[in-house]
Amino acid sequence: MPRIPVLDSNSASADIRATFDAVKGKLGVVPNLLKTIAHAPSVLNSYLGFSGAVGGGALPATLREQLALLSAETNGCDYCASAHQAIGKMVGLDADEIVRGYAGDSADPKARAALVFAKSVLANRGKVSDADFTAVKAAGYSDGDVLEIVANLTLNIFTNYLNNVAQTDIDFPRVHTGRSAS
């Protein structure tokens, strides 16, 4: 049972209902994550703005989803693992790359370098070594790309923590974290 229930659109303000309608028009549904954070409109709007901004960045959607899977696994967020496994499939990740994403790995060497760097960012709370930074740059990532990796992780840490605190009802095919030794 969720600690923070989803906000019923019938009891939501006109602005929140308009946001829900826009999300539904884009995704076909309004995920429970958004219905939960809608209790704080400033948080909902901040999340949507940040998500839209990083989603429009230079990193490919497949890598963004692998970063989300790694973050979900690292932070034990079943809601995010479930959501991003489903979204990962939608953007073209196959089953092997999804499993590898949870572990911070990829068959693609460039994506693997980003994920290895991301694992270090998560494990060290951003205090990565010079070797970690040099390795991700040597793999072909620009300074801007590195910043986008960190931004994507930050967005996902936010949703991991929020869903873990709220115990958001999972509205995607359920996935359980804890399968990798993150």
List average pLDDT for each run of 10 residues in the chain, which is 182 residues long. 94 94 92 97 97 97 98 98 97 97 98 98 98 98 98 98 98 86 38
Instruction: Return the half-sphere exposure (C-beta side, CA atoms, 13 A cut-off) of residue 48.
Output: 19
User: Counting Cβ atoms within 10 Å, is residue 71 exposed (0-12), middle (13-18) or buried (19+)?
Assistant: buried
Is 9-55 in CATH node 1.20.5.810? yes
Is residue 168 a contact partner of residue 81, using CB atoms and an 8 Å limit?
no
Name every residue whose Cβ is closer than 8 Å to that of residue 23 and which is 6 or more positions away in sequence: 30, 31, 34, 48
Paired tokens of 1 = 């049972």
Residue-range domain boundaries for the chain = 9-55, 61-166
Q: 61-166: which CATH number, 3.30.70.270, 1.20.1290.10, 2.60.40.10, 1.10.1740.10?
A: 1.20.1290.10
Paired tokens of 160 = 């991991």
Q: Return d(Cα 16, Cα 178) in angstroms, integer.
A: 35
Q: Return d(Cα 130, Cα 79) in angstroms, integer.
A: 33
pTM of the complete model beyond 0.75: yes
Name the average pLDDT for the chain: 96
